[in-house]
Amino acid sequence: MNGERVGAVTFKGHPLTVLGEPVKVGDKAPEFTVIDNDLNVRCLRDYAGKVKLIAAVPSLDTGVCDAETRRWNQVASELSDDVVILTISADLPFAQKRWCGAAGVDRVITLSDHRDMSFALSYGTYVKELRLEQRAVFIIDKEDVIRYVEYVPEIAQHPDYEAALETLREVLKG
C-alpha cells in the first residue's frame, strides 16, 4: 500500500505500521470526512476561517488520551473564538459523546474517524495493526496551511504541549 511506513510508531516499544503519507509544515491541509457526536458528517471546510488545532488520539478511553484531551479542553477555555480544537479518534461517536459528558469536556470538539479512517489516511496517522490513530498534533491556520506537525513516536507518550502552544500563539499573532 502506498504510504505504508513500517515501524513509524511504537506501542509500548513494539514497532507498528502507519498508513498514509505524513503531512509537513507548509503543506495545504488535506480535506477529510469524520463523524461528530450527533452522527453528522464533518470535514475540514466546516471549520473554515478558524485556526485549527487537531489532536489525533488512539482512544479517549485510555489514560494518556483522556489526560491529553482534558488538557486541550483547558487550553480551549483560554483561547479566542478564532481557534477551534478538534480531537479525532477511531472511537465510535456514541463513546465519544459519553466520554465528553463524563469528563466534563465541553470546549474540544470530538470527531470519529471510525467509518472510513479518512483523516488517518489523509494525515498519515492510521496505525494498521490496531486500526487506531497515531497520536499526533497539527496546527492549521485560517488559510488551511499546516503550521505545526508532531507525530508522537510512541503511542503511550504525551505530545509536546508547549511546542504546539507556542506555534498556536505565533499563528494567532499573524
Give dist(CA 139, CA 149) in Å, integer.
7
What are 111-142's pLDDT values in tens digits?
Answer: 999 999 999 999 999 999 999 999 999 999 99
Residue type, 44: L
82 pLDDT higher than 90: yes
pLDDT for position 2: 63
1 pLDDT higher than 60: no
The answer to whether the CB of 131 falls within 8 A of the CB of 153 is: no
Give dist(CA 71, CA 108) in Å, integer.
10
Give dist(CA 108, CA 173) in Å, integer.
22
Domains and CATH numbers, the chain: 5-173 (3.40.30.10)
Averaged pLDDT for residues 30-48: 97
The residues that are catalytic are 65
